[in-house]
């Protein structure tokens, strides 16, 4: 028998679907890519604008609001010792080229909202906020404090949620609407490895390389320049006509060969779903390089292996399967090339183990590649019989009739930074993938998410 309180909450949501769509589009129209820090806006003015809108809507809903110096804001209602938290984020990754719909117009076309952030994570965040709003209106005596948080730095550092945990209590139960259904009970460790090497000189001298927006995005545009000595110019010219890569172009300016390639962006946790422009260029350089300089260009190209084999860290475990490795940013200075890799490693591994594997492997290469920087976010893991996990699974089955096993992911959500918190699903088949061009969310899925979130949050509040 269906819980009449849940039915009442969901009926309210059905009656306010147009309001949810309107407010979601307003939020999506704010280009909240991280920008230069300003007073009370540590992640730029656009992020500040998005947070201001979220807190304004919260105040209008009658919730108490708190602004943590622009890092994060939250809205709260209810009474009791138990705290139930939903953590969404308002910041988005850069858009990149190739959009058919303007990324910040939030156009509704064919039943979908097209916008950067529609699936990651403004759409789900607004669906969660409206679930909270419905509970406030329909269950005035809820025996828990309910809190909706709006983070501003999820995509590039988690500084917002780290600031939150400095002063705020851990939730009794928390959810981050930012993954797959019904929830992900394990999140791989995330590490950024910066590997550097001296730029190779000689007859085929790499003098410049640049591309990438963020470590967690597959590079979709890349440029490199090579100085070619007169003694091998004829050899290089003879190889160029055999270039097979139609997404790459090149030209000489004097003795400098300029190379440009385009690819396809994808989330760094699934680099195999994208098409790295950097890999295209490194492959091209490897094919052109004279024999004497082949080792460097072989090892440079091999380093881009999406399973991590090229930097000595490939592996897997039973719980979370294979490690993934995304070359997210490449840059060079006058002396060195710097490669920033975004790694998603198995939940049973340690970051120190990953670092040691990489250092040992690099030490055996012919070229002097060196690991210079290590940033690590430890894995997250909840057993399947945990009350938080079981409750969410039960609600999802009741709402959809689908029996799904909780998943594991390479992506990182706020859940890994806040105790007693897991990430839950966002959208269904047909919605656009996070970090890709023409990101989209089906309008009906926005509404459906909000109803399921409300049921989950109500169950956690009364567990």
The predicted pLDDT at position 2 comes to 84
% of the chain residues with pLDDT over 90: 91
Kindly state the tokens that stand for 396: 């999802």
CB–CB of 211/277 below 8 Å?
Answer: yes
For 166-216, what is each residue's pLDDT tens digit? 999 999 999 999 999 999 999 999 999 999 999 999 999 999 999 998 899
Q: Does the structure show a pLDDT above 90 at 7?
A: yes
Enumerate long-range contacts of 363-368, CB under 8 Å, 24 or more apart.
365/299, 366/295, 366/296, 366/299, 367/197, 367/200, 367/295, 367/296, 367/299, 367/300, 368/197, 368/198
What average pLDDT score do residues 61-75 get?
98
Pairing of strands 380-381, 173-179: unpaired
Kindly state the tokens that stand for 236: 């290089």
What average pLDDT score do residues 370-388 get?
91
User: Which letter does DSSP use for residue 33 in this model?
Assistant: B
State phi, psi for 8 to the nearest 5 degrees: -65, -45
Beta strands in 353-428 (DSSP E): 370-377, 380-381, 407-409, 421-425
Confidence band, pLDDT 50/70/90 cuts, at residue 375 = confident
> Which residue from 113, 103, 119, 109 is spatially nearest to 46, judged by alpha carbons?
103
Distance CA 186, CA 173 (A): 16
Q: Which helix (H) or strand (E) holds 457?
A: helix 443-461
Distance CA 332, CA 128 (A): 43
Helix intervals (H) in 185-311: 230-239, 277-288, 294-302
Fold of the domain spanning 190-377: Alpha-Beta Plaits (3.30.70)
CB–CB of 330/211 below 8 Å?
Answer: yes
CB–CB of 155/434 below 8 Å?
Answer: no
Q: How far is CA 80 from CA 145, 171, 461, in A?
A: 6, 12, 10
Q: Does the structure show a pLDDT above 80 at 45?
A: yes
Q: Does the structure show a pLDDT above 90 at 93?
A: yes
Q: Where in the chain is the domain with CATH 3.30.70.360?
A: 190-377
The predicted pLDDT at position 8 comes to 98
Is the peptide bond prior to 182 cis by the omega test (within 30 degrees of 0)?
A: yes
Indicate the burial class of 2 (C-beta count within 10 angstroms; 0-12, 13-18, 19 or more). exposed
pLDDT higher for 82 or 243? Answer: 82
Q: Does the structure show a pLDDT above 90 at 400?
A: yes
The predicted pLDDT at position 434 comes to 86
* Average pLDDT value over all residues in the chain: 95
Helical axes 122-138 vs 17-28, angle rounded to 10°? 140
Terminal Cα-to-Cα distance of the chain (whole angstroms): 18
Least confident of 33-42, 338-347, 426-435, 452-461: 426-435
Q: How far is CA 177 from CA 47, 148, 347, in A?
A: 19, 11, 21
What average pLDDT score do residues 14-22 get?
98
> Which residue from 431, 439, 441 is spatially nearest to 98, judged by alpha carbons?
439
Confidence band, pLDDT 50/70/90 cuts, at residue 350 = very high
The predicted pLDDT at position 87 comes to 98
The predicted pLDDT at position 412 comes to 78
| pTM for the full predicted model | 0.75
Pairing of strands 421-425, 183-187: antiparallel
CB–CB of 304/209 below 8 Å?
Answer: no
Least confident of 7-21, 127-141, 406-420: 406-420
Confidence band, pLDDT 50/70/90 cuts, at residue 243 = confident
State phi, psi for 374 to the nearest 5 degrees: -135, 120
One-character DSSP codes across 150-169: EES-TTTT-HHHHHHHHHSP
CB–CB of 51/67 below 8 Å?
Answer: yes
Catalytic positions, written as ranges:
91, 154
Distance CA 301, CA 318 (A): 29
pLDDT higher for 213 or 111? Answer: 111
4-188+380-461 CATH, one of 3.10.20.90, 3.40.50.920, 3.40.630.10, 3.40.50.2300: 3.40.630.10
For 441-455, what is each residue's pLDDT tens digit? 999 999 999 999 999
Q: Does the structure show a pLDDT above 80 at 1?
A: no
Pairing of strands 440-442, 321-322: unpaired
The predicted pLDDT at position 122 comes to 98
Question: How many other C-beta atoms lie within 10 A of the C-beta of residue 99?
Answer: 16
The predicted pLDDT at position 433 comes to 85
How many angstroms separate the most distant Cα atoms in the chain? 83
For 279-332, what is each residue's pLDDT tens digit? 999 999 999 999 999 999 999 999 999 999 999 999 999 888 999 999 999 999
Q: Does the structure show a pLDDT above 80 at 244?
A: no
Instruction: Please tell me whether residue 67 adopts helix, strand or coil conformation.
Output: strand
CB–CB of 289/235 below 8 Å?
Answer: no
The predicted pLDDT at position 11 comes to 98
Q: Does the structure show a pLDDT above 80 at 21?
A: yes
Q: Where in the chain is the domain with CATH 3.40.630.10?
A: 4-188+380-461
């Amino acid at each position: 028998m269906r819980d009449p309180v849940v039915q009442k909450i969901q009926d309210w949501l059905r009656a306010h679907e147009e309001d949810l769509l309107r407010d979601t589009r307003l939020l999506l129209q704010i280009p909240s890519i991280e920008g230069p820090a300003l007073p009370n806006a540590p992640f730029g003015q656009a992020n500040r604008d998005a947070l201001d809108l979220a807190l304004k809507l919260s105040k209008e809903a009658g919730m108490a609001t708190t602004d943590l110096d622009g890092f994060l804001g939250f809205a709260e209602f209810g009474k009791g010792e138990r705290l139930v938290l939903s953590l969404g984020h308002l910041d988005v990754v850069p858009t990149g080229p190739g959009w058919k719909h303007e990324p910040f117009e939030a156009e509704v076309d064919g039943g979908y909202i097209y916008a950067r952030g529609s699936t990651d994570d403004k759409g789900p965040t607004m669906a969660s906020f409206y679930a909270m709003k419905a509970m406030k209106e329909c269950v005035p005596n809820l025996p828990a404090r309910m809190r909706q948080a709006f983070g501003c730095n999820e995509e590039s550092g988690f500084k917002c949620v780290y600031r939150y945990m400095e002063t705020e209590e851990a939730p009794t139960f928390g959810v981050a609407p930012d993954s797959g259904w019904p929830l992900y009970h394990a999140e791989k460790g995330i590490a950024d490895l910066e590997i550097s090497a001296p730029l190779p000189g000689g007859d085929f001298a790499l003098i410049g390389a640049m591309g990438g927006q963020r470590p967690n995005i597959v590079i979709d545009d890349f440029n490199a320049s090579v100085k070619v000595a007169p003694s091998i110019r004829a050899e290089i010219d003879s190889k160029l006509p055999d270039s097979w890569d139609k997404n790459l172009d090149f030209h000489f300016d004097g003795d400098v060969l300029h190379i440009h390639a385009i690819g396809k962006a994808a989330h760094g946790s699934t680099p195999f779903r994208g098409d790295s422009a950097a890999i295209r260029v490194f492959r091209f350089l490897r094919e052109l390089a004279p024999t004497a300089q082949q080792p460097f260009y072989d090892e440079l190209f091999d380093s881009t292996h999406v399973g991590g084999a090229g930097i000595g860290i490939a592996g897997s475990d039973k719980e979370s399967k294979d490690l993934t490795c995304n070359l997210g940013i490449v840059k060079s200075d006058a002396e060195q090339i710097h490669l920033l890799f975004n790694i998603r490693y198995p939940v049973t591994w340690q970051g120190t183990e990953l670092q040691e594997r990489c250092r040992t492997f690099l030490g055996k290469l012919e070229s002097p590649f060196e690991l210079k920087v290590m940033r690590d976010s430890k894995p997250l893991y909840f057993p399947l019989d945990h009350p938080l996990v079981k409750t969410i699974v039960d609600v999802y089955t009741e709402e959809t009739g689908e029996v799904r096993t909780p998943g594991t992911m390479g992506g990182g959500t706020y859940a890994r930074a806040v105790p007693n918190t897991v990430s839950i699903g966002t959208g269904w088949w047909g919605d656009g993938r996070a970090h890709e061009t023409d990101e989209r969310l089906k309008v009906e899925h926005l509404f459906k998410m909000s109803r399921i979130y409300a049921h989950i949050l109500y169950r956690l509040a009364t567990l």
